[in-house]
Amino acid sequence: MSPSLGNLFYLFLYQNQLSGSVPQEIGYLRSLTELDLSTNFLNGSIPPSLGNLNNLSYLSLYENHLSGCHIPPEIGDLTNAKLFYAFYNELVGPIPAEIGKMRSLQNLSLQTNNLFGLIPKTIGDLTELKHPSELGKLKNLNDLGLSNNQLSGPIPSSFGNLRNLQGLFLSDNNLTTEGIPSSICNLTSLVRLDLAGNNLKGEIPQCLGSISGLLVLKMSDNNLSGEIPLSICNLTSLRRLVLARNNLMGEIPQCIGNMSGHLWNLDMQHNYLSGTLRITFKNGCALKLFNLNGNELEGRIPQSLANCTDLLVLNPSFPTWLGTLQRLVDLRLRSNNNLNGEIPSTV
């Protein structure tokens, strides 16, 4: 790499057809503040020499074919980096604990790789993040994306230190725990929480209802048990509530009806929910998807569901007023419920 590039501040080579490996010599560009090699065909390892780029604030390597045995621990030397994206690659191995040294990180996304092992506790030091227990130190973090890997072990309680976190994406891993840590509820800036597709056990924490700005809550495809906490109804901004395919039991909280003015997606299919639906859906109901298939519910669907005129997907049995839902495009009647009613002539 030519010495004449030594004073280069910005190197943007994204969305080309570059192939081969990232050269070690890139570490000589010590003046670089932004490096974007995303959306190419680059392969091989992330070069450890990237750790020499002390002025780097932006490092984007996503959508390549980067592999190698691990993310180099030297990545932790990028203490001024605010963004590190390496998602949609073929990276293998554990997340290095040294990542907790990147105290300026605001956005960290490593999803859809082949990362495995425990989530490092040092992520709790990334307190600038708006998303990793070494990760719990990244206190400026705004977004943390670790979905679609092979990460295991518990969700670190140190995640509760990430007070600026707005998005936490841990779906489709092998995370296991006897309870979602209550420290998650310290993340009062959280807007999106996705824990779907793991092996999480225990009850849904009552304190989740205190994260008032939450828009998306996804916990489907786990082994969660117990009843749905009434505090869930305190989430007055929630748009998507997805609790499908767990072991939840008891009645659906009546107060869910109070959320129907802002809730778009309510998916609780394939649990052990029982009793009758005592929900009153508001005028101006915003629901587009309503799925309770595969539970143990009884009785009739509330007629107030007719207030949900934007429904696109409905999965109960036939209520007589079904023909009033003129935008309905997907009606699913597979069910283990005991909901009843006649097939109406309006269908």
Contact present, 300 and 340 (Cβ < 8 Å): yes
Domain encompassing residue 308: 7-339
Taking the C-alpha atoms of residue 114 and residue 148, their distance in angstroms, rounded to an integer, is 8
Mean pLDDT is lowest, of 95-109, 260-274, 296-310, for: 296-310
The domain that holds 335 is classified in CATH as 3.80.10.10
CA distances from 32 to 29, 39, 50, 70, 156 (A): 6, 20, 10, 24, 34
Q: Is residue 172 in some structural domain?
A: yes
Taking the C-alpha atoms of residue 143 and residue 106, their distance in angstroms, rounded to an integer, is 7
DSSP string, 199-236: EEEEEPPGGGGG-TT--EEE--SSEEEEPPPGGGGG-T
Q: Report pLDDT for 303.
A: 85
Highest mean pLDDT among 63-77, 201-215, 332-346: 201-215
Number of domains in the chain: 1
Phi, psi dihedrals of residue 299, rounded to the nearest 5° = 85, -165
| Residue of 279, 277, 291, 294 whose CA lies nearest to 337 | 294
Which residues, at least 6 apart from 287, have a Cβ–Cβ distance to it below 8 Å?
Answer: 260, 263, 264, 265, 266, 281, 305, 308, 310, 311
Q: 65 is written with which tokens?
A: 């074919």
Q: Is residue 243 in some structural domain?
A: yes
Question: In what side-by-side order are the strands of the sheet with 65-66?
Answer: 19-21, 41-44, 65-66
Q: Report pLDDT for 318.
A: 43
Q: Is residue 347 in some structural domain?
A: no
Taking the C-alpha atoms of residue 40 and residue 16, their distance in angstroms, rounded to an integer, is 6
Quickly state the pLDDT bin for 123 (edges 50, 70, 90).
confident
Residue 131, SS3?
coil
pLDDT digits (tens, 9 = 90+) for 151-190: 999 998 888 888 889 999 999 999 987 789 999 999 999 9
Quickly state the pLDDT bin for 344 (edges 50, 70, 90).
very low
Q: 35 is written with which tokens?
A: 């490096």
Q: Report pLDDT for 5.
A: 72
| Residue of 248, 300, 241, 255 whose CA lies nearest to 270 | 248
* Share of the chain residues as helix, strand and coil, in percent rounded to the nearest 5: 15, 30, 50
Q: Is residue 346 in some structural domain?
A: no
Mean pLDDT of the chain: 86
Mean pLDDT is lowest, of 130-134, 259-263, 294-298, 333-337, for: 130-134
Q: Is residue 257 in some structural domain?
A: yes
Q: Report pLDDT for 95.
A: 92
Taking each continuous run of H as one helix and of E as one strand, the counts in the chain are 0, 28
Q: Is residue 1 in some structural domain?
A: no
Q: Is the pTM of this model over 0.75?
A: yes
Taking the C-alpha atoms of residue 117 and residue 110, their distance in angstroms, rounded to an integer, is 14
Which residues, at least 6 apart from 42, have a Cβ–Cβ distance to it below 8 Å?
Answer: 18, 19, 20, 21, 22, 61, 64, 65, 66
Q: Is residue 127 in some structural domain?
A: yes
> What per-residue string of b and e applies to 186-197 under the rule 16 or more CB within 10 Å gives b?
bbebbbbbbbbb
| pLDDT higher than 90, residue 76 | yes
Contact present, 278 and 299 (Cβ < 8 Å): no
Mean pLDDT is lowest, of 8-17, 111-120, 122-131, for: 122-131
pLDDT digits (tens, 9 = 90+) for 212-237: 999 999 999 999 999 999 999 999 99
Q: Is residue 344 in some structural domain?
A: no
Q: Which residue has the higher pLDDT, 318 or 325?
A: 325
Taking the C-alpha atoms of residue 165 and residue 144, their distance in angstroms, rounded to an integer, is 8
